[in-house]
Each structure stands twice: as structure tokens, then as C-alpha cells.
Structure 1
């Protein structure tokens, strides 16, 4: 579904990611792992069209989308729940969802909203609350829900569990399983390596903007050198 070929991207003269190649197959979960500053968020934002592509190509469904504007990528079926959530905090939960669905016909709003609320029932209880008044866990649910309103086939989620309570993390990971069962492809950036390895089909490990390992999540967990050096597992 998504093919990244020798991707380099960054900010002005600064290169955040260099020569990254990665393939995502339909209906799979891929974890992007690495320390802070490894280039994980920059990779996701480049695929979404928000960070400058400096080299390489991004293919989606066999078509080169490297030069498309962010909204065109959304219309192709790519959505992102960004690091820091970036909600419209002075808008209600429902209006944030409405913004997420702006690329879809208005007649689909109720159906798509109800899909999100079934996935995250807590949002249904806070539908008219301002996003800025939500707890951290509720804001994360809303950020994911807003991305889902675009009816993506690929959703990219940046730092899913950062700062969240364990029970909220459990809820979010159950939601990911449901999305995968519904046929969605997921690219997940996560600091909690135990959690991402428990759910991912494939993983890509970045260090200083470059790939140091790619393969099956089960192989990553069973590789003692990789686990100790990059994954924080012993």
C-alpha cells in the first residue's frame, strides 16, 4: 500500500531522515521505533506532506504522491494523528470530528462520527465538551478519532501512549486491533517498545535518521543484540 523509497527529509538545510526505505502491506500494523530525535515523527509528517521531501519517493497504491499537497494525500486515503495531538482546543469534541471529516460528503458525518464513538465510547459522553477541557487520554482518543473521520485506509499515529495512564493505553491498543480487523493499515510511532512489539506485524528501527533494522516484530524481540542496543529490552 505504502512504499517509501530512499526517503530523505528535513527542515531547511537540516536533514532529519536520510535514505529510509519502508514498505507497508494492506491491513498490517508497522511500528516505527527509535530514540528521541531518531526521525520517527519527521518520517510520518513527510508522508503526510508537512515536512519537506529532500530526496527519494513516496508511493501510495502504486502512485507517486511525493509532490502532492497534504489535503490531496488525505483524499487519497492517508491520515495522521500527530505528536502532541494538535486538537482545536476551543472547539467541541463533535466539531473537532467535523473538521476531521471535511474531505468527506456531509451526509457521511453522522455515520463516521458514530464509528468513532463506538471505538471510543468516552468521547460520546464528552461530545459537547471543549477539546481543551479533556483529559490527556480523551484528547488522544479524539486525535485518533479526528483522523478516522477522513475515512483513511492508512492511519499514522505518532506517540500513542506518551503521558497516558496504563488503562487508557490498553483501551487505545484495543482500538488499534479493531481498526486492523476492519482492514485498516497502521503506521505507529511508539516509545513503549514492549507495547508496539506486542501488536505490530513489522517494525523499523531508526537511529539518527537512518534505518538500523527492519523485519518482523517477532524477530526483533528475539534478536538479543537488537533488543539490548535499540529496543531497551533485556
Structure 2
């Protein structure tokens, strides 16, 4: 579905990712793993069009989208729930969802909102609450929900479980399983590597902005060198 070929990206003269190649199969969950500073967030933001691509090609369904602006990429079906969530804190839950749905016609807002609320019922109880008054878990649900309002075929989620209670993490992972069941493709950046290895279909490991390992999650689970050297699992 999505193919990165020798992609480099960065900020001005600084190159955060070097010659990264990555393939995402439709209807799968791919875990993008690595230590802090490995280039994971930069990769997601480059795919979304928010970080300058300095080389290589990004193809969606075989068509190069490297020169498309972020809005056009959203219209093509790419959405991101960024690190830090970046919600509109002074807007309500409903209005944050409305902002996410602005690329779609107003006629489908209620349908799409109700789909998000079915995935995260807690948000239905907080529709008129300001985003700033939500718990960390509720804010994460809202960030994912806002991305889903664009009707994506690929959703990228950066640091899903960071700072969240275990029960909330469980709810978020259950949502990802449901999205995959519905045919959505998921690219997930996550520090909880053991959790990712249990849910993902494929794994890509980055170090210093470059790919050091890529393959199936099953193969990753059975590679002791990989899990010890790069994923911190013993």
C-alpha cells in the first residue's frame, strides 16, 4: 500500500532519516521501533508531509506522493495521531472531531463521529468537555479519533502508550485490532516493544535514522540478537 524507497528527511541542514526503505501491506499493523532519536517520529511526519523530504520516493498505491502537501496526503487517505497529541485544548471533544472531519463533507460528520464514539465510548460521555480537561488517556483516544475523522486508509500513531494507565493502553490496542479487522493499515511508533510485538504483523527497527531490521513480527520475536540488542528485551 505504502512504499518508502531510500527516503531521507530532516530539518534544514540536519538529516534525521537516511535512505530508509519501508513497505506497508494493506490491512496490517506495522511497528516502527527504535531508541529515542532513532528517527521514528521524523519518518511519520515525513510520510504525512510535515517534515522536509530530502531524497528518495514515497509511493501510495504505486503513485509517488513525495511532492504533495499535507492536506492532499490527508485527502489521499493518510492520517496521523502525532506525538504529544496536539489537540485543540480550548475546543470541546466534539469540535476537535469536527476539525478532523473538515476534509470530508459536513453531511457525513454525524456518521463518522458516531463511528469514533463506538470505538471509544468514553469520548461520548465527554463530548462537550474541553480537550484540556480530559485525562491523558481520553486525550489519546481523542487524538486517534480526530485522525479517524479524515476517513483514512492508513493511520499513523506516534507513541501510543506514553504516560497512560494500563487499562487505557488496553482499550487503545483493542481499537487498533478493530481497525485492522476493518481493513485499515496502521503504522505504530511505540516504546512498549513487547506489546507491539504481540499485536503487529510486521516490524521495522531504526537506529540513528537508518533501518537495521525489517520483517515479520513473528520473526522478530524469535530473533534473540534483535530483541536484546535493539529492543531491550531479554
Normalised to the residue count of structure 1, the TM-score between the two structures is 1.00
* In structure 1, distance between residues paired with 2:62 and 2:219: 28
* In structure 2, distance between residues paired with 1:194 and 1:167: 16
Residue 31 of structure 1: aligned partner = 31
| Pair 1:141 & 2:148 matched | no
* In structure 2, distance between residues paired with 1:39 and 1:179: 25
Aligned runs of 1:16-27 on 2, under 5 Å? 16-27=16-27
| Pair 1:230 & 2:214 matched | no
CA RMSD of aligned residues (A): 0.4
Residue 102 of structure 1: aligned partner = 102
Q: Shift of residue 62 of structure 1? A: 1.0
Q: Shift of residue 176 of structure 1? A: 0.2
Q: Deviations over 1:108-159 (max 9, x none)?
A: 0000000000000000000000001100000000000000000000000000
* In structure 1, distance between residues paired with 2:222 and 2:102: 44
* In structure 2, distance between residues paired with 1:227 and 1:159: 19
Q: Shift of residue 61 of structure 1? A: 1.1
* In structure 1, distance between residues paired with 2:217 and 2:159: 18
* In structure 2, distance between residues paired with 1:132 and 1:68: 32
| Pair 1:10 & 2:41 matched | no
Q: Shift of residue 18 of structure 1? A: 0.2
Residue 208 of structure 1: aligned partner = 208
Normalised to the residue count of structure 2, the TM-score between the two structures is 1.00
List structure 1 runs of 4+ shifted beyond 3 angstroms: none
Alignment: residue pair count: 234
* In structure 1, distance between residues paired with 2:228 and 2:180: 29
Aligned runs of 1:49-198 on 2, under 5 Å? 49-198=49-198
* In structure 2, distance between residues paired with 1:33 and 1:42: 13
Larger CA deviation: 40-49 vs 218-227 = 218-227
Structure 1, unaligned runs of 5 or more? none
* In structure 2, distance between residues paired with 1:174 and 1:194: 16
Structure 2 SS opposite 1:37: coil
* In structure 2, distance between residues paired with 1:232 and 1:113: 39
Q: Deviations over 1:173-201 (max 9, x none)?
A: 00000000011000000000011101100
